Amino acid sequence: MKIITQREFRNHSAAVMDAVEAGETYHITRNGTEVAELRPLATRRQPTTEDLIAQHRLLPRIDAAAMRKEADEFFGSEDRVGDDDPFERA
């Protein structure tokens, strides 16, 4: 961690930002008092296909009939347009 003044930050902001991007943390002072911390953000990596497949396998199975029954109980079945399920497998 480095401590710099507000003036130093203003005059050398590009170099300070380059250092922060490289992992350095700065405390910025005004009139001798620390007022801010400038640090790199924690970066998240993009999940790989394998990560997504592993997460998908952990999801619970869905019982379509139970979900339809629950939706009918909540919303009512009289307003349903049709009972044909375009996603039903033969």
Instruction: Answer whether residue 82 is part of any domain.
Output: no
CATH code for the domain of 19: 3.40.1620
Domain membership of residue 14 as a residue range:
2-38
Domain tally for the chain? 1
36-90 tens-digit pLDDT: 999 998 877 888 999 999 999 999 999 999 998 898 888 887 766 666 766 776 6
pLDDT at 73: 87
The 3-state secondary structure of 7-52, one letter per residue: HHHHHCHHHHHHHHHCCCCEEEEECCEEEEEECCCCCCCCCCHHHH
DSSP 61: P
Query: What's the rounded Cα separation, in Å, for the pair 80 and 71?
Result: 10
In the three-class reduction of DSSP (H, G, I as helix; E, B as strand; rest coil), residue 2 is classed as strand
Instruction: Answer whether residue 74 is part of any domain.
Output: no
Query: What's the rounded Cα separation, in Å, for the pair 8 and 54?
Result: 48
Kindly report the pTM of this predicted structure: 0.48
Instruction: Answer whether residue 31 is part of any domain.
Output: yes
